Amino acid sequence: MLQVARLHAFYGKSHVLHGVDFEVAPGEIVALLGRNGAGRSTTARALMGLVEATGDVRWRGASLRGLAPYAVARRGLGYVPESRDVFPRLTVHENLLLGCKPGAARGASAAAFERMYALFPRLRERRDTDAGVLSGGEQQMLALARTLMGEPGLLLVDEPTEGLAPQVVAQVAHALEGLRAQGLGILLIEQKLTIALEVAQRCLVMGHGRIVFEGTPAALRADERVRREWLEV
């Protein structure tokens, strides 16, 4: 589904990613792990065309090189940034409406709303509430749901459990597992090892802008050296 090869990324003269290679298959959650500053968020931003990058990024066989972020999104990549970026003065329903695919028929949009409210029942309860007064967990659910309104084939999710209470973390994890079961590919950018090991089929560990480990959650659990050197604070 997604193939990334020799990906380099830059912020001005700062060279952040150094030849990153990985793939994400349909119906697979791949966890991208690492300490702050390792290059995890930059990887997602590079895939979406939000930072200067070189290398080969292919989505369903077609190159994404040089495309604007909106064009990447319309090809089928959905991005949920760490900042969530909900529109605080718009209601939950209005935020979701902004996520609809351009030109979507009214019936298709109505069905998408129902899917999102079924996935996140709390949003149905809060549909007429301004997003700015939602809790952190509710805003995270809204950010996920708004991106899913565009019916992406791959979801890039950056730190979805950051700052959330344990029960909300469990809800987000359950939602991601449900989406994977429906065939959605997910690149889960996380710092929390526990949640990544629980939901992912494969784990990538980044350090200094490179992939330093790739393997199953079981292999990562067994590799004390990698955890100590690249993950533990």
2-76+152-231 is classed CATH 3.40.50.150: no
119 contacts: CB under 8 Å, gap ≥ 6: 145, 148, 175, 178, 179
Q: For residue range 188-209, what is the model confidence (pLDDT) as tens digits? A: 999 888 889 999 999 999 999 9
Phi and psi based region of residue 151 (left: phi greater than 0; alpha: psi -120 to 50; beta: remaining)? left
Q: What is the pLDDT of residue 233?
A: 52
CA 186 – CA 37 distance, rounded (Å): 21
Instruction: Give the Cβ contact number of residue 61 at 10 Å.
Output: 7
Domain residue ranges in the chain: 2-76+152-231, 87-151
CA 202 – CA 115 distance, rounded (Å): 27
Q: What is the pLDDT of residue 101?
A: 80
Q: Are 127 and 93 in contact (CB under 8 A)?
A: yes
Q: What is the pLDDT of residue 127?
A: 95
Q: What is the pLDDT of residue 105?
A: 55
3-state SS class at 150? coil
Q: What is the pLDDT of residue 164?
A: 84
Q: How many residues does the chain have?
A: 233
Q: What is the pLDDT of residue 108?
A: 63
CA 98 – CA 149 distance, rounded (Å): 8
198 burial level (CB within 10 Å; 0-12, 13-18, 19+): middle
3-state SS class at 27? coil
> What sign for the dihedral angle of Cα 213, 219, 221, 225?
negative
CA 123 – CA 92 distance, rounded (Å): 7
Q: What is the pLDDT of residue 230?
A: 94
Beta-bridge partner residues of 18? 8
Q: Are strands 52-59 and 2-11 parallel, antiparallel or unpaired?
A: antiparallel
Stretches in the chain below the pLDDT threshold 50: none
Q: What is the pLDDT of residue 107?
A: 63
